Amino acid sequence: MRSKLVIWGASGHALIVADIVRLQGEYEIVGFLDDVNLERHGTEFCGAPILGGREQLDSLQHLGVQCLIFGFGDCDARLRWSALVRAKGFSLITAIHPQAIVASDVTIGAGTVIGAAAVIDPETKLGENVIVNSLAFIGHESIIEDGAHIGPGARLAGRVTIGRGTWVGIGTTVRERVFIGRHTLIGAGAVVLDDIPDGVVAYGVPARVIRKVIPNEP
């Protein structure tokens, strides 16, 4: 008997997460949560109802739903709400596409999503609530901290570190042994040759720091 699962989020990324979950075949998706578009509550999305927002968490527990995964890309929000769902007794599941290639010794934290055709090399460590999007490559011995998002087609060479809550944009290339700090945004198509500090926006070829940002996560 499959465990009941709710997906928190009801946008484009939630479509991807739902597809991966259904391909895995381990969970029954009972519905989605949407805190942004309240007018969608009670409508159908991706083959299941939008049950409401986070105010539904307590009632879902009473209905026997014990598993949850985030279906939105906002890094700080995934970090912020994971403590809440755990406090309410939910387990965060992982979603790994059957066509992803993940080395046998890769460490994968709870809530992490790995998309189709992603490749993750040996001795890599993925934290909790990480997104490794479709066609992304993560080289050997890299560290991807909690809540980071590796965009589609991004290529990380060996021994790269991506900090907590950092967004690496689509098609980015990162040289070996580069350290990218926490709560940083790397723009699409960037080529990162040198370390990037915490809390900045950087992009370009080669990538340069453009401005500072203030993270929403405490």
140 flagged as catalytic: yes
The Cα 168–Cα 148 span in angstroms is 8
Q: Which of 13, 97, 140, 183 is catalytic?
A: 140
Q: Are 195 and 210 in contact (CB under 8 A)?
A: no
Strand 200-203 vs strand 208-212: parallel, antiparallel, or unpaired? Answer: antiparallel
- Which is nearest to 128 in space by CA: 112, 105, 144? 112
Q: Phi and psi (nearest 5°) for 81?
A: -90, -10
Query: What are the helix (H) ranges across the chain?
Result: 12-24, 57-62, 75-87
> In this structure, which amino acid lies at residue 134?
S
Q: What is the CA radius of gyration of the chain?
A: 17
Query: What are the helix (H) ranges across 56-125?
Result: 57-62, 75-87
Strand 143-144 vs strand 125-126: parallel, antiparallel, or unpaired? Answer: parallel
Catalytic positions: 140
